[in-house]
Amino acid sequence: MIEKLPGFTNPHIENLIERLDSLIDGDRAVSELVAYGEGAVPYLEHFLHSGSPRTIALPRCRVVRALGELGAYSILLAYFREYERPADPQVLFAEDAVRSAVARELLNWKSDEVYQVLLEAARERATSGLVLALGEFRKPESVPLLFAVLDDDLCREEGIEGLRKVPVIAREYAVLSVRGKTQTDLLALGALRRRRATFQLLVEFGIIPEEWADLRSFLQESDSAVVIAVARLGLQVGPESDYHEIIGALLRVSAHINWLQEDEISRLLDAHRDLASQLAREIAEERQRRGERPNWLMPSWRILRHLLGRNLGSHASGAA
273 neighbors 298 (Cβ within 8 angstroms)? no
Task: Give the count of beta carbons closer than 10 Å to the beta carbon of residue 298.
Answer: 14
Average pLDDT over residues 93-112: 96
Q: What is the pTM of this model?
A: 0.88
For residues 12 and 120, membership in a common domain is answered with: yes
- Average pLDDT, stretch 283-298? 91
**CA–CA dist 276, 58 (Å, integer):** 56
Q: What is the pLDDT of residue 319?
A: 42
In a domain, 138, yes or no: no
Average pLDDT over every residue of 181-210? 93
**What is the C-alpha separation between 176 and 181, in angstroms, rounded?**
5
Q: Report whether pLDDT(3) > 60.
A: no
Give the range among 161-170, 178-187, 195-204 with minimum mean pLDDT.
178-187
Mark whether 75 and 104 lie in a shared domain.
yes
CATH number at 106 reads: 1.25.40
Total domains in the fold of the chain: 3
Do 13 and 87 fall into the same domain? Answer: yes
Q: How confident is the model at residue 253 (pLDDT cuts 50, 70, 90)?
A: very high
Query: To the nearest whole number, what is the mean pLDDT of the chain?
Result: 93
Q: Is the pLDDT of residue 5 over 70?
A: no
200 inside domain: yes
Final residue before a domain boundary, out of 125, 153, 183: 125
Q: Are residues 4 and 120 in the same domain?
A: yes
Residue 81 and residue 11 share a domain = yes
Residues in the chain, total: 320
- Residue 233 pLDDT greater than 70, yes or no: yes
pLDDT of 157 strictly over 50 = yes
Domain assignment present for residue 62? The answer is yes
pLDDT at 314: 55
For residue 320, pLDDT beyond 60? no
User: Has residue 134 been placed in a domain?
Assistant: no
Average pLDDT over residues 182-188: 88
What is the per-residue pLDDT across 137-146, written as a single tens digit (0 to 9) for each? Answer: 999 999 999 9
Within 10 A of 317 (CB to CB), how many other CB atoms are there? 13
Residue 7 is predicted with a pLDDT of 60
211, 192, 130, 96: CA torsion to nearest 10:
-170
Q: Are residues 241 and 301 in the same domain?
A: yes
**Full residue range of the structural domain in which residue 251 is found:** 209-320
Tens digits of residue pLDDT in 62-90: 999 999 999 999 999 999 999 999 999 99
**151 and 84: one domain?**
no
Q: How far apart are CA 66 and CA 134, in angstroms?
A: 22
- Domain identity same for 265 and 197: no
Q: Give the pLDDT confidence of 30-61 residue by residue, as tens digits.
A: 999 999 999 999 999 999 998 777 899 999 99
Residue 44 belongs to some domain of the structure: yes
In whole angstroms, give the CA distance from residue 13 to residue 17.
6
In-domain check, residue 130: no
pLDDT for the residue 318: 45
Same domain for 114 and 13, yes or no, is yes
Q: pLDDT category, 187, cuts 50, 70, 90?
A: confident
Average pLDDT over residues 150-159: 96
Q: Of 64, 95, 125, which closes a domain?
A: 125
| 137, part of any domain | no
Q: Tell whether 116 and 3 lie within a shared domain.
A: yes
Domain boundary among 175, 206, 237: 206
Instruction: Mean pLDDT check: name the lowest of 112-126, 178-192, 262-276.
Output: 178-192
